[in-house]
Structure 1
Amino acid sequence: MWTLTVQPRFNETDALGHINNTTLPIWFEQARTPIFRYFTPDLDPANWHLIIAKIDVEFLAELYLQHEVEIRTYFSKIGNSSMTIVHEAWQQGKMCAKGHAILVHFDHENKGSKPIPDNIRAELLPHLVE
C-alpha cells in the first residue's frame, strides 16, 4: 500500500465548505504516481504505457479544508494486462471517500493492451490486497 498526505487547498472547497467532489479524482491520480513510475520511471509522456479504462468515486462523508487527508492506494486485482487500483481518502481517522481506477498496460502503436512484464508484476504484487 502507498500513502499520500494531502493538505486541502482553499480553491478545492465548494459553496458548502466541503472539499469539492471534482477534487478526489485529481488526488487519486496523484496517488497513482508510484505505480506510473514502475512503467515509465521518468514519467515521460512520450513513453507512456498506461491508459485509464474506468474511474469511480464513492463519497462516504464530507472532507474539510482544515485537516490533512491521507490517500491510501493499493491493488484489488492485477490481471494479465490490466489492474484495479483502490483509493481511500481518510480524514481524522475516518474513511470519507473510496474510489477505483482500472489501468491497462497499452501498446499505442498497435492500439491494444499488452501483458504486464513479469519484473513489473513482481514489484506490484506486494501491494495487492484481496
Structure 2
Amino acid sequence: MTGEKRLRIEDFAGRTYDKLRYGDTDRQGHVNNAVFATFMETGRVELIYDPQNPLLEEGFSFVLAKLDIDYLAEVLWPGTVDIGTRVVKVGRSSVTMEQAVFQNDVCCARALTVVVHFDQTTRRSHPFSEEQRAKLEGWISAV
C-alpha cells in the first residue's frame, strides 16, 4: 500500500459507490466490519467486469486469493460510501490491487487484494494475454 499520504478517492483509477443498508449495521450502530469485504468486492467487480471495457474472455473469471483489510474509521448508516480501486502490481496470472472505502471524504478502510485469472475449464490459474496485461497496467495510478 502507499505511504502515509492521505488517500483521496481521486487517487484511484476505479471509482464507485455503495448505498448503506440498515442491515449492514451491528449492535454498536456502525457498519459491521464484515460488510467491508462486500464494499471491496463492489469496487473490484465494477472495475474488472465493466461491460463497456471487458477484460475477460469467455470461459475465464477472477478468483479472490487474498483480502487484507485495515479498518481506519467507523462507517455510519444512513448514507453511502465511495470505493476506490487501483492496480499496484500485475503478475503472470494474478493482479494485486489497493482499495479504499471513504465516507464523507474520510478514508475508513484500506485493503490489499489479490485476484487470480482463472480458467473455468481447467480450474487453474491462466496467464494474462498481452492485451489484458496492458489494460491492467493502465489501471495503475501513479500517486
How does the TM-score come out when normalised to structure 1? 0.86
Paired with 2:87 and 2:81, the residues of 1 have a C-alpha distance of 20
Distance change >3 Å, CA 25–CA 40, structure 1 → 2? farther
| Cα RMSD for the two superposed structures | 1.8
Q: What is residue 104 of structure 2 aligned with on the other side?
A: 92
SS of 1:32's equivalent in the other structure is helix
Identity fraction in percent: 29
Contact 1:70 1:89 in 2 (8 A): yes
Q: What is residue 69 of structure 1 aligned with on the other side?
A: 81
Q: How does 1:1-130 map to 2 (within 5 A)?
A: 1-33=13-45, 34-36=47-49, 37-39=54-56, 47-129=59-141
- Deviation at residue 86 of structure 1 after TM alignment: 1.4
Paired with 1:12 and 1:6, the residues of 2 have a C-alpha distance of 11
User: Runs of 4 or more off by more than 3 Å in structure 1?
Assistant: 108-111
- Deviation at residue 39 of structure 1 after TM alignment: 1.2
* Structure that is richer in helix per residue: 1
Deviations 1:56-107 (A, max 9, x none): 2110010111332100011111111110111100111210001122111122
Contact 1:3 1:70 in 2 (8 A): yes
- Deviation at residue 27 of structure 1 after TM alignment: 1.5
Contact 1:67 1:92 in 2 (8 A): no
Distance change >3 Å, CA 121–CA 20, structure 1 → 2? same
Letter in structure 2 aligned against 1:39: L
Indicate the larger mover: 48-57 or 13-22: 48-57
Letter in structure 2 aligned against 1:123: K
What is the number of residues matched between the two proteins? Answer: 125
SS of 2:138's equivalent in the other structure is helix
Note the residue ranges of structure 1 that are not aligned, 5 or more in a row: 42-46
How does the TM-score come out when normalised to structure 2? 0.79
Contact 1:78 1:128 in 2 (8 A): no
